Amino acid sequence: MTIFQAILIGCYFWMKNNFYWYGLNHAFFFLPLPAALWVGIVLGKIPEAMAVGALLQLMYLGTIAPGANIPQDPALATLISTVIVLQTGAPVETAVSMAIPLGLLGTMAWNLNRTVNVIWVHMADNYAKKGDTRGIFLSGLLYPTLARIPTHVIPVALAAYYGPTYMKAVIDALPASVMHGLEVIGGMMPAVGFAIVVTVIGRKYLLPYFLAGFFLVQYTHISSMPLLIFGLIIAYLHLMFTGKSEGGAVSV
């Protein structure tokens, strides 16, 4: 990996927390799949990166941010763990064990960001008292954006550049039993994500569809695209036969 590639990966984390510049949905950049895709583009290994992103996407499937307080930062966890897996050649499942502590570090970076933003809020208040619209713009947008460079770009770039070197030594030193344990944990975490989603949905009459899809994949080994098309058809039929408007007409 070159220094420029590491900086590009750090810039993604910076851009993720500056979404208001681009009119994009913050939730989109919050997801593991887009973060893994960016790493794959930068490193030229898109299929391998998407395999890591898909696993972490399932792991964080039920993650919510109540009151804007995120328990984990899937974007940072995905960026660094994907880089390490691609650069060290470790099994994809090991990304799960690395993602958890990295996600907590991302939460700390987010809290640090909000703490520093207090400075710009008071600065904007002072400019507002003077009627200085240019000062309000600078303290409300430009200064916070630039302040995230040392707290977001630089740490993530350093972790992406130096992380694989140290993690490869650690992974090579781990016994085969430990690596197998990490693979088992990696296989369990997607099930936890699905379980959280099912619990949040809380609609028991939809559970048969969930179970039907699970056993269909388990025993037929159907690929994702045919399964998606089949699911859309079932969803359409469900709405057509169960959804009715006030006048009694079928609503689809």
pLDDT in tens, 145-179: 888 888 888 888 888 888 776 666 666 666 777 66
Instruction: Determine the Cα–Cα distance for residues 6 and 80; give it in Å rounded to an integer.
Output: 10
Same domain, 164 and 228: no
Q: How far is CA 5 from the centre of its chain?
A: 20
- Judge if 240 and 137 occupy the same domain: no
One domain, residues 67 and 85: yes
Return phi, psi of residue 250, to 5°. -70, 130
| Domain co-membership, 71 together with 192 | yes
My answer on whether 249 and 144 are in the same domain is no
What DSSP element (H or E) covers 17?
A: none
Structural domain total, the chain: 2
Q: How far apart are CA 163 and CA 160, in angstroms?
A: 5
pLDDT of 107 > 80? The answer is: no
Distances (CA, A) of 101 to 2, 71, 78, 98, 232: 25, 11, 11, 6, 36
Q: Are 70 and 76 in contact (CB under 8 A)?
A: no
- CA proximity to 95, closest of 108, 69, 76: 76
Are residues 172 and 131 located together in one domain of the fold? yes
**pLDDT of amino acid 250:** 45
Q: What is the mean pLDDT of residues 121-136?
A: 89
Same domain assignment for residues 111 and 23 = yes
Mean pLDDT for the stretch of residues 204-224? 79
Q: Are residues 141 and 247 in the same domain?
A: no
Most confidently predicted of 174-178, 180-184, 241-245 = 174-178
139-166 in b/e form (b: 16+ CB < 10 A) is bbeebbbeebeebbbebbbebbbebbee
pTM above 0.85, yes or no: no
Mark whether 74 and 188 lie in a shared domain.
yes
> What range defines the domain where residue 249 resides?
203-252
Q: State whether 229 and 134 are in the same domain.
A: no
The CA distance from 25 to 115, in Å, is: 23
- Mean local confidence (pLDDT), 32-59: 88
- 65, 185: one domain: yes
Range 192-197 average pLDDT: 63
Same domain, 175 and 212: no
What pLDDT score does 40 carry?
92
> Helices (H), strands (E): how many in the chain?
12, 0
